[in-house]
Structure 1
Amino acid sequence: MSHITSAFRDAVHDSQFCFRRLLKAMSEPGTIVELDRCQGFGTMMPATGQVLLAMADNSTPLWLSPAFMKDKAAKQNIHFHTGASTNATTGKASFAAIALADMPVIKFDELAFNVGNEEYPDRSTTIVIETDGFFSGQQYKLTGPGIKDEQYIQLGELSSVVKNALLVQGEVFPLGLDLIFVSGEQVVAIPRSTSVEAV
């Protein structure tokens, strides 16, 4: 049985809108941006779906966390609307998406996502991580490119392994992972060039 639902109303313009918003988020780490061009697929948050719609295509190796892989609506819609393969290994994935439901149990430190290499640092994995909000949880201080002096952000209730991954951001730049945190229609990006400190 098909679980396909509608995505962007205007595929070109809505995708460009989301792409520009994501560029703002990546170039201004810690800044909250809104993605409001379509609903999520299945249990997938609206912004998670929109990030993948804007960034993935049929040449994109995509890794989905277990809850998304079990969610037929999420998996079928992402595959249908983007053409992206959803069976990539973590080491080969250009993009990865971690469901909120998987946050308490995800073995982030064991997943071996691609951090790029010295010749092609931009080939690292970009990870979309669902969280329960940006106004609770541990406060973090961000510094680095795109930030004037420093930026403070909360990322909700994160698992200890995700917190540990966050606190090593910037240490191996230009290698590393680009992280995109999502809550509902809101997005905060913490690219691999950003240094993160718990406050």
Structure 2
Amino acid sequence: MELDLVHDIQAVYRQTLDAMSRPGLIKNIRSQALKAEMAAGCYGSTLVLALMLFDTEVTFKVCSQAEAEITKLISQLTYARAAELASADYILVLQDAAAEDLETAFNKSYPGDLLNPHKGATILIEAEAVSNGRNLRLTGPGIQEEQYIDVKASPCWIDLRAEKNREYPLGVDVMFTDGESNILCLPRTTQIRKQVVG
């Protein structure tokens, strides 16, 4: 792996922080993702985010047809521990996961508790594509007025996220990666409204 675990990861951290603090802002980490690409069964951008986010204190769950192999790889690279959905800090729903895996990931993910709402899980979803198309309207903290996005993925994630986050401050944060190494972050505080076409 040619990825520089100091400079490249710091660059990705800055990009991710920017994307998380300004929901709807799409950042591209292609230069780092290309360095991390291997026969991992996931996008290079997903693997780079795992390298940035995971350490010995973190637990994670992989939803994929190649769950065992990818879990082993990520554990070896990050020393993070595999866990069940209900107790995982991070849940990776990869591009080959079934639609029901996405639903189960949201339903079983930990939303935090009233004393520690910040301990809610983060769900990282591999989408076919993310863009600033006008299908979804975003409002909330970090957005000056409104922002627009389009996510080419199983559309059920929108309602599943809304249901999981209905009892603020409890809820989950969602991150997307796509095949072009774009990243999109949606904190639990971001409100999403589907746009009516026509």
Change (3 A) 1:104 1:154: same
Q: Tell me how far apart the structure 2 counterparts of residues 44 and 90 of structure 1 sit (CA, whole Å).
A: 19
The answer to whether the Cα contact below 8 Å between 2:24 and 2:147 also exists between their aligned partners in 1 is yes
Alpha-carbon separation, structure 1, partners of 2:153 and 2:185: 16
Q: Which of 148, 152, 155 in structure 2 is aligned with 1:152?
A: 148
Contact 1:33-1:187 within 8 A present in 2 as well: yes
Kept in 1: contact 2:59–2:89 (CA 8 A): yes
Q: Is the 8 A contact 1:15 1:54 kept in 2?
A: yes
1:164 matched to which residue of 2?
A: 159
The answer (yes or no) to whether the contact 2:124–2:176 under 8 Å persists in 1 is: yes
- Aligned amino acid, residue 131 of structure 1: A
Counterpart for residue 189 of structure 1: 185
Q: Which residue of 2 aligns with 1:102?
A: 97
Of Structure 1 and Structure 2, the greater helix share is in 2
- The 3 A distance-change label for structure 1 pair 138 and 130 is farther
CA pair 103-31 structure 1, distance change in 2 beyond 3 A? farther
Q: Residue 100 of structure 1: CA displacement? A: 1.0
Match for 2:52 among 41, 51, 54? Answer: 54
- Matched residue of 2:65: which SS? helix
Give the % identical residues.
25
| Pair 68,138 (structure 1): closer, same or farther in 2 beyond 3 Å | farther
Post-superposition shift, 1:107? Answer: 4.9
When the two structures are aligned, how many residues end up with a matched partner? 189
1:127-138 correspondence to structure 2 within 5 Å: 127-135=123-131
Q: Answer yes or no: is the 8 Å Cα contact 1:26–1:191 preserved in 2.
A: yes
Report the AA paired with residue 83 of structure 1: Y
Deviation at 1:137, TM superposition (A): 8.6
- Alignment TM-score, normalising by the size of structure 1: 0.86
TM (normalized to structure 2)? Answer: 0.86
Distance 1:159 1:66 in 2: 18
Amino acid corresponding to residue 13 of structure 1 in structure 2: H
